């Protein structure tokens, strides 16, 4: 069975495998797309109680404006800031991440989940640190 959305720019094929339907994207157009300069930031060794900050820079290389709907972190020790305005095609922006190591010790691995209007709807960024 093949289904086409009402948007002529996107086609989705449904295949049945072992009785389960799966969607396979055949052709995608009409979506924004992130291009990050990095998706992982290693703070390295930091002192307990230290607050460290990094930026994740990106460009919208898709064919529609990019909208970040929300950003969630895997821990309350991590905070994020971003410009709430849509990022136009070809434009650049960034997400600022702040990690507070107070009460943390040892290896830290934190995930930042970006909810957006891209094809897959989310993007994960990661920060790591070794707290001494």
Q: What is the pTM of this model?
A: 0.77
pLDDT in tens, 78-127: 999 999 999 999 999 999 999 999 999 999 999 999 999 999 999 999 99
Which residues are paired to 122 by β-bridges? Answer: 115
Instruction: Please state the separation of Cα 11 from the chain's center in Å.
Output: 24
Token reading at 70: 């929300």
Give the distance between the most distant pair of CA atoms in the chain. Answer: 58
Q: Return the closest-CA partner of residue 118 out of 58, 67, 59, 56.
A: 67
Token reading at 86: 């849509």
pLDDT in tens, 21-73: 433 443 346 899 999 999 999 999 999 999 999 999 999 999 999 999 999 99
Domains by residue range for the chain, with CATH? 1-30 (no CATH), 34-131 (2.60.40.10)
What are the angstrom distances between the C-alpha of 25 and each of 12, 13, 29, 65?
5, 6, 11, 21
């Amino acid at each position: 069975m093949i289904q086409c959305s009402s948007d002529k720019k996107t086609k989705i094929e449904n295949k049945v495998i072992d009785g389960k339907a799966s969607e396979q994207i055949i052709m995608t157009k009409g979506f924004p797309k992130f291009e990050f300069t990095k998706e992982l930031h290693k703070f390295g060794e930091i002192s307990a109680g230290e607050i460290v900050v990094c930026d994740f820079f990106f460009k919208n290389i898709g064919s529609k404006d990019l909208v970040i709907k929300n950003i969630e972190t895997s821990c309350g020790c991590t905070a994020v800031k971003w410009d709430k305005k849509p990022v136009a095609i070809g434009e650049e922006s960034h997400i600022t991440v702040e990690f507070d190591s107070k009460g943390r010790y040892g290896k830290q691995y934190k995930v930042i989940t970006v909810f957006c209007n891209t094809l897959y709807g989310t993007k994960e960024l990661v920060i790591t640190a070794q707290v001494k």
